Structure 1
Amino acid sequence: MFRSSGRFRHQSDSSSCGDAICVEALSKHFRIPKERKQTTYDHLVGLLPGKNSSYDEFWALKEIDFSVRRGETFGIIGANGSGKSTLLKILAGVLYPDSGTVQVNGKIAPFLELGVGFQPDLTAKENIYLYGSIMGLTKKQIRERYDEILDFSELHRFENMKLKNFSSGMTVRLAFATAVQTDPDILLVDEVLAVGDESFQRRCSEKIEEIRRQGKTIILVSHALGSVEAMCERCMLLDHGKIRQIGEVGQVIAEYYSMVNGIDISDYYREI
């Protein structure tokens, strides 16, 4: 698939990449309006030669290069606006890069936002079947895993309720429970451990650990640095759309503290 000069390649494409995910020279920018346009005429006038541009360019990601090994749990950290969620959306195929290449070797289950991909006017049961089908499961496989999905999410009582009447906590429980049952090769997780009550967060952690033991690849974006340090083998720190550091988790977290607090890295190691 192609958009602009960027490339998103699936495992069926020929490539020398032997890892689960390979990213090369990835860049993504967005156009931000400088002022509100009231009419179509205002928009067209702003595009005429000699007129000042009515948009600013914001580079969410700039020349990103990294790879994630098969079976690795890889953390991505950074301040708000550093490009973490944009990167995950590109890996999931929700967004396309403006330049560079992304290769994904395996089936991805993206868990990026509360119930992303779910339909609010459908019931919980209908959404389970819809999402499972999108992820390549047969109706028989969905039936076999249906009760386990509802057990994990604790939503048996609400299986025939439309999602638009769910609370955000109920929606995220159903979304996560369904996503992990699609047997992905690669799981993209964006702040799942920061939502829901303590019991749900504990079950999520246990499920992710189970997926890790199965040798699956996990990319975890989180501000919960303790969880990143406990679960990830390596970590990447993003800063204003660029990679500041990749490496051993403790060292990258120390660099993050240094960046946001202006402290010396050695202070962090003395504390731990």
Structure 2
Amino acid sequence: MSVSDTEKKPMQKSPSDIPAVKVQDVSITYRTTFERVPTFKSALVRFGRGERAVREVKAVQNVSFDVNHGTTIGIIGANGAGKSTLMRAVAGILPPTSGRIEVHGRVSTLLSLGVGFNAALSGKENVVLGGLAAGLSRKEIEARYEEIAEFAELGDFMEMPMRTYSSGMFSRLAFSVAVHMDPDILLIDEALSAGDASFKTKAAAKMSELVTNSRTMFLVSHAMSSVRELCNDCIWLHKGKLMMRGEPNEVIQAYTKFLQVGEAEAVSLEDL
């Protein structure tokens, strides 16, 4: 299969020898503008106006890896490491500046709380929109609606506008929609950091069920315990570069040592 440098084409069911996701030498660079604080001299010269400056941010730098079908891979790293940027590229939301990404299978994403939801519409209407966006027919969405609503445990709020929802309610519905879209590949960014303890337990059980059914899952998290419990593979990113890949316990140990925190303190990372 041939894929252009910045093109990514989701495929239907593929032979097991073809990776679910293939990332080849991917780099992503942002160009941002900001206003410099003028010195007294430059302020006089520019009559008090600020000066616009352009800065390049290398969010991801020459990252390459393959993920096979049925793998649950954790992606860890400090804030600003490029984890979420990389997931948006795999999801097809953000094109890479250079390199190539191949995805084989239907992708369902939970990358940011409530993204894609219309707060003016009800929870039920947003479930329909989410299903249509995932490529399901209205009949397929209707068949799954009760299961989605039951999992989210929102009761009568499913008929109410989502602007009336708390962040925890948003989280429950967003997670329920994502995991019930029959994804081949599920991308989750910090989904387990929101919601109460009972929902976290329920979400973890659902994710384990998806893994058991040979679905491929990416989990971006600061919660080392979640990565240990749910993942069988792990990637550590630092300042956009792939530092290490391997068995979760080994990668987490190297990461926490790099941060100069002991293993006993690693659990506190869940609260970051």
Q: Could you tell me which residue of structure 1 aligns to residue 47 of structure 2?
A: none
Alignment partner, residue 58 of structure 1: 57
Contact 1:9 1:101 in 2 (8 A): no
Alignment correspondent of 2:176: 177
Name the counterpart of 1:31.
31
Q: Distance in 1 between matches of 2:183 and 2:59?
A: 27
What stretches of structure 1 of length at least 5 have no aligned partner?
38-51
Deviant stretches of 4+, over 4 Å: none
Classify the secondary structure of the residue corresponding to 1:35. Answer: strand
**Does the C-alpha gap of structure 1 residues 225 and 155 become closer, same or farther in structure 2, counting only changes over 3 Å?**
same
TM-score by length of 2: 0.85
Q: Please list the CA deviations of residues 194-224 of structure 1 after superposition, one character each: whole Å capped at 9, or x if unmatched.
A: 1111111111001001101111000111111
Indicate the residue corresponding to 1:72 in structure 2.
Answer: 71
Q: Equivalent residue of 1:7, what SS?
A: coil
Q: Aligned-pair distance for 1:262? A: 6.6
1:54 partner SS: strand
CA–CA distance in structure 2, aligned partners of residues 110 and 6 of structure 1: 20
**How far 1:53 moved relative to its partner?**
7.7
Aligned match of 1:202: 201
Name 1:49's counterpart in structure 2: none
Q: SS where residue 25 of structure 1 aligns?
A: strand
Q: Distance in 1 between the 2:257 and 2:7 partners?
A: 34
Q: Specify the SS of the correspondent of 2:64.
A: strand
Q: SS of 1:244's equivalent?
A: strand
Letter in 1 for 2:18: G
State the Cα deviation string for residues 106-132 of structure 1 (Å, max 9, x = none). Answer: 000001111211111111111111111
Aligned-pair CA distance for 1:258:
1.4
Check the 8 A contact 2:33/2:52 in 1, yes or no.
Answer: no
Which residue does the alignment assign to 1:131? 130
Aligned 1:193-232 pairs, distance under 5 A: 193-232=192-231
Q: Deviations over 1:138-196 (max 9, x none)?
A: 21221121111111111121122111121111111111111111100000011111111
SS of equivalent to 1:22: strand
Distance (Å, rounded) in 2 between the aligned partners of 1:18 and 1:59: 30
Name the CA distance, whole Å, in 2 between partners of 1:81 and 1:154: 34
Q: CA deviation at 1:36?
A: 6.2
How far 1:227 moved relative to its partner?
Answer: 1.1
Task: Give deviations 1:75-130, integer Å, cap 9, x for gaps.
Answer: 10000000000011111111110000000000000011112111111111111111
Q: Which residue of 1 aligns with 2:43?
A: none
The answer on whether the counterparts of 2:32 and 2:56 sit within 8 Å (CA) in structure 1 is yes
Spell out the pairing of 1:12-27 with structure 2 (5 A cutoff): 18-27=18-27
Gaps of 5+ in 2: 38-50, 267-272
| Residues 6 and 162 of structure 1: CA distance in aligned 2, closer, same or farther (over 3 Å) | same
Check whether the contact 1:33–1:55 (CA below 8 A) recurs between aligned residues.
yes
Residue 249 of structure 1, CA deviation? 1.1
| Aligned pairs (5 A) from 1:1-272 | 6-11=6-11, 18-35=18-35, 54-261=53-260
In structure 1, C-alpha distance between the alignment counterparts of 2:102 and 2:9, rounded to whole Å: 5
Structure 1 CA distance for aligned equivalents of residues 209 and 240 of structure 2: 32
Q: What is the aligned length?
A: 245
Could you tell me whether the CA contact under 8 Å between 1:22 and 1:68 is conserved in 2? yes
* RMSD, aligned CA: 2.2
Equivalents in 2 of 1:212, 1:117: separation in Å? 25
